[in-house]
Structure 1
Amino acid sequence: MSASSTPTFNNEYYIALECKDLQANAMAIDSSGNYVLLGGRRYLAIRNLEDEYEVVQKYPRQSKYDVGAAEWNPTQFHKELCVISSNQRLEVVTTRHDDLTQTHSLRAHTRVITDLNWHKADPNILASCSVDTFIHIWDLRDPKRPTLSLSAVAEASQVKWNRLSPHLLATAHEGDIKIWDQRKGTVPMQYIAAHLSKIHGLDWSPKSENYICSSSQDSTVKYFDITNSRKSEFVITTTAPVWRARHTPFGSGLVTAVVPQLRRGENSLQLWNTTNRATPVHTFIGHRDVILDFDWRKQYPNDLDFQLVTWSKDQTLLVWKIEPYIQKLCGHEPVEVEVGTEIVVDAIESRLPRKNSPKVQPLHQEFSLLNVHIPNLIVKKMDPVARNVAVKVAVNDFLVHLQVSFPNAYPFGVSPIFQVMPGSTINDSASHQLLQMLKHLAQQRVSKNRTCLEPCLRQMVTTLEQLSTSLDPNKVYDRSYLEPPNIFGGYNDAYIPFPKTSGAKFCSVGTLVCFSRPSFSRRVPTKSESLTRATTPRALSALENHFTKQASDYMTISTYYYQRHRSRAKNFSKQSRTVVHIYDALGLFFMNRQLAEEYILDGDLSTVCKHNGAAAAVVGRFDLVQAWTLAELVAGQSDDKEMAMASHPFGSKLMESLINHYATQYDIQMAAMLCCIFGKEMSRKSAQSLSEQSKKWKLKATSPYHTIPPADVVADGWVFPMMRTKRSTSLDNIRVEVPAVVRTTKPQSTLYEYYKMAYAETLHRWGLIYNRTEVLKYTYRIPDVHKGVEFVSECTFCERQVKQYGCVFCKRLALQCAVCGDSVRGLANSCAPCGHGGHRRCLQWWFRKKSVCPTGCGCRCMSETARLFDT
């Protein structure tokens, strides 16, 4: 197979470890390739990859932090040492005397450590990087502090020593790469603007000291020559963000893994040939969850195949053979090695794993990972040698004995064979339909080289459960009740709503938008559904309960709704267009945009009421003209709103009645305008009550500029559905319900502020920002509660604590200048330890030549204050 041909999936692997309780996040392989370490919050585990019978050695960890990264010392001198990161600390452990003990604890970082890397040649040197933007270089011979600290502006996510040059190391900072030379101080020697997104991995070339590759969130892997880094040498583009990209120990290969946080079902590794980057040359499929880490085992001199070790979130460790024919896809030609009188040749048929390693086929692994505790299902036999499985499913009146046989090529494009065995209490029609479903689901999975036994068994149980609740098992049905589970997800899509086929929505411009299916394409109920009302399914999974006429057909959304007659087939494409109707709904609302543009708030009361009444007459709202006339009579000739309210015989009672009337009629616009003009004096009566109510939503606000309370605000029994934390372009939520008990028993003034804010929100939707600002000027704003450090002083006369420049008790200026003796009114400074201070200019003049407080208290104000804030 050439490097540009279709990727192959005929790879072999064996399970080296499967341990569900480890919950490890980090993996490391020692320099010999025999031992692997897995690190998690609860345990450190070591497994011998050479001995299949050795028990996994677990060592409990006494830490509340997880293991972020782990790596064995790559040199022979300290090959027993392994370093792991735990939050802000590095722990160096050793495996001497069949025990795992800690030898060093390295602490210097102030934030979480993101990566670590041993020096490739010096066994005592390692580097670490952290979110605190520092890269520390440690020498185990002096572990108290780093021997060298490199500082960057952005946090460092990766650090890697050069494989060939002992003085160079690279770090990744967001989308940039910095190249450092430890001999040249703390300034990077090279800066590479590599990616626009975050870099997840770095790897130096094993062949040239000047080449480095980076893997990024932007779904690319880039190669750079550090001697000419303005432009990448080449780019590999993938279909998902790349978590790690590492060179192969043979040829010009590169292995990539996707970002674990995506959880999109991309659980495979891809092998690329960097000389032909159009498509991966090989894909490693076997893990059931995302891959957390991978690395290469050391190759022995007589071995032609390399081995790749992977650790996944499914808590399974797999060892993959990279056989000679795969190596050729990366441009590597294995060399014949003479061993005694035998010649080890490059043969594809030579596929035995390394000595003492159990040869396990994919079918063996699938059997070992099968969940045998599926409800209503009993696994009677699993024979990996005969390659078959026998199960029994008992659901109510149904009893099905099923045998599954696996061909030799399974699961690589060849599906298993399903047979309903004698003794099953299911009729021939249902049996035929069940086998059709199993065959279809299996074919869908093996076409992607995925195993299918457990999904098929689960779907079989689900289908029989649904069938047993609605059908008689002794009756023959001529309709298919099954659908392709991979399309609608079967039991996985119960929370996916069915697509809407009709609807109506008020939008913020005062229009009503309606849509629906054409009448000729609406679904016609079947015979079985004609007796009941045909309704739209609640979820996609509900299609499993509907049938079509042919047993081999499966229900889809299009076939559910569009039942086309043959005579209409030619004209269907012309008639299938859906029409969206838009209606003008301005006449349905009391709130009027034209009034919002014409209304004013500033000016004397009589002028404001007369102008607003004239604006209401223009749009035909004569009820509002009458209200504004009453308001003008209440205002009289006085410019003082409070005096006008007090002098009128009805005064506040009349205004409260008008505001309450328009609020109950859902005319928030008029209610809010009256509140802005006449509500200031009434709102003051209940300012304390409003303050208590506002605290409920003020604490939940995420921004100090957010003036609209959330939806769950309840003030005196009033529920405001229009108050939302997220803005909406719909007018559906302008309705305000006023409970009768509130109208009769509780004061209305506590709600005036909410009327104003609700109207301001509507003005914002209309785009009338200036008008909204005018309304918000009349809202009552509670001052923010001070949070943080607060300094108070004592009055020099009455010795009471004051927070302002004047004492509220003795009515004198609280602070006197320690230099000139005058009282301080303007800008002042004071010493935090001794409390003395004065005019800023006076203190500057004093401390230019002296360091002791001018009062003679003996405090060295400048140094003591600096020391206080440093700690």
Structure 2
Amino acid sequence: MNMNKMLRSWNSEYYVALECKDLQANAMAVDSTGTFVLLAGRRFLAVTDLDSDFVVHKFPRQSKYAVGAAEWNPTSFHKELCVISSNQRLEVLTWRTEELIQNFSVRAHTRVITDLNWHRFDPNILASCSVDTFIHLWDLRDSRKPTLSLSAVAEASQVRWNKISHHLLATAHEGDIKVWDQRKGTAPVQYIAAHLAKIHGLDWSPTSENHICSCSQDNTVKFFDTTNNRRPECVLTTNAPVWRARYTPFGTGLVTAVVPQLRRGENSLLLWNTANRNTPVHTFVGHRDVILDFEWKKQHPDDTDFRLVTWSKDQALLVWKIDNYLQKLCGFEPIESKDPFKSHEYSENFRFFKKTSPKVQPLQQEFSLLNIHIPNLTILKMDAVARHVLVKATINNFVAILKVNFPSAYPHGVPPGFEVVKEGSNIGDSIAAQLLQMLTHLALQRVSKNRTCLESCLRQMVTTLEQLSSDTENKRVYTRPYMDPHNIFNNSDVYIPFPRTSGAKFCSVGMLVCFGQPVHARRLSMKADISPRTVSSTPRALSALENTYSKRPDDYMTVSAFYYQRQRSRAKQNYMKFSKAIVHIYDALGLFFVNKQLAEEYILDGDVGTICKHNAAAAAVVGRWDLVQTWTLAELVAGPQQADEENSWSNHPFGNKLMESLISDYASQHDIQMAAMLCCIFGKEHDVSVRKSSLKSLLSPVQLVPGKKWLKPESSPYHTIPPADIVADGWVLPMLRTTRSTSLDNLTIEGPLKIPAPKTAPNSLYEYYKTAYAETLHRWGLIYHRTEVLKFMCATPEVHKGVEFISDCKHCMKPAKFGSCGSCKKLTLKCVICHLSVRGSANTCVLCGHGGHSKCMKWWLSFHDTCLSGCRCKCLMQTAGMLCP
């Protein structure tokens, strides 16, 4: 027996009861007294005392099988007994005087045991279920064989005794639930077709004998009444497959955890109110890895607080305190609880630790980190004790005073309250309602993830008021109560927006440029009730304009005045202000799937397994867990390739369809980065047989129908990057002039892609993805990464069509593009300085044509300005004048 002392660290919501990396435990159980926790793994069994600080008892375990499930006896009669499952065997253990002793082990299952559960009322009865489709009921007084064996067609993944009835138990088989009565033989008494995917967890209601809930791979938790099993009473829908769903010991609450095998970055538990299933009422955030199991801690007699114990793959045991406000959110009215740290059952060490570890005040910390220099906003008061903030925003003619009240539960799923103070504010009720709606929506988004929201809401307040002020001003300017019917310019044309005075455009990669006409400029442009079209339409219109302004003939605006906001002659004297439009540039990279950091970290060199593993790690760093899953899947499917054609990648049973589906899916989501990376990586040559088979299938070049518009701009997988080839009647993809076994050509592509494409050119899509991604890398300045991508292009690069100098061979006088003549095979250039034939670097005058070795020319022209050949050409000056006029 080993005794380790573990220091508990505190958070405002939980404390760390144990953190021990070497345990590698994957099963947890809390005893019926709420004092001891059993942690079980392949190498160790450990028991820790939640009421005594810093002590954990470890016991080595010699087994090649991991522990599948663990559970303490729930009755007070045998509270010292616990049981664990390992492969096909059950091991019953006794915890006594700080020793964990094995009583006996039983074996009747022929396949792995998937779950076990003690009887709630009989301390000697235990149920186990297995992949072998059997459910065995054991009596510890005679453990030689099961007292009852229940048989099902499909494997049993869960078994649970009813919490009220002494005779009922439920089991899960794939997506179905069976309810058994041990008094009525070996046939189920109820059958429920619950889910279309595998059920991961079952839990009986603690208050109703006939109610049970099930959680499944289909992202749902369903609640059934076993007396009416045709349809669920209600369904709770989540964003991920649910591993466990268990009722709370108070109110109508439910706690859920995601499936650990998914590794989606969801390391938190969700607390729901089953009476309102739209969104969770709280999120327990603290673990650094997926949660393996959780249980409710038994309350002490003098303790009305509820506690939740969780065990994660990060090998940390956390104990969560369920505050009164969380109990109220679950429909339970708690009784005022005593301080658990004053209880005699808590040790002096634990009380000392609480005194010396003050809790961090989240609101006070948020106030201290708040940026008080927000434009157009003044913070009037911040009170951390009263938990409210008073701010004043002044935008144009709008003045708004906002009071923000913070509940005690903020920011853990509970948003602050917003109130517009009428005294001192001049905004109307409709504007105030719009402002409050916007702030409440933003606050709910933030606190649903347990994030603070004060500064974000204050900035949103300024932005919203600016927008509402601008809209109000526009409405006032454009809505004129009187229009003279005799005025030629008072027609519908006057309300046509000014051309090119506002707009938005995505420039380069991830940059959004927005521009518009200022309010003051719009006011001036509408002064004469005309638009640029009416000003420049006809001489008659100009004449009528002069007649209209006969008293001030120079006061009317020209077309240029609309664009530059200037007025002629007398108007210049009256309006000396020059209104400037503001151009806003936003970093919109977060709106796209492409990521510059990923582009810098991704690699394309090496074997497929190494590339996928490296790229998965890069995606994990930026928090793209969906890409981590894809790269991990790609690595598993690729696997080690053999040298024979039979086991090559092109013949893999999942390779072709899976890669085609992944690439098409990412392209349809405009994630051109991932689509292009998969096209490059899985087109690499794995063996000689693949090369031969690929080259044979690619001898005839792919031809597209000339001018066929089968990929329009609006259907481009990445619409901010133009395609590589543009023709008069539409956009087409680049033609493949020659092919080689580098793209996805060594995969046998069958079936249509999601993006419409001609039947003969699926590879053109892959070429397009690589071209578009290479263009993106070029705009980011990642020239090396762009070159790496272009190496996998199948199309031959176009010949350079820029300026080209061709000299005549001095021997045969025929044109020669290179250093040696293609006809006589002699060197074409002879140095005018040293009279030797030039090999290597050379320079020539573009005017007279004389030149030679670069070093020789540099030496001569550093002392002279005329050509050595005697042609009297001033080579440097003449060349500079020609190239830089």
Larger RCO (CA under 8 A, 6+ residues apart): 1
**What is the TM-score of this pair, normalised by structure 1?**
0.45
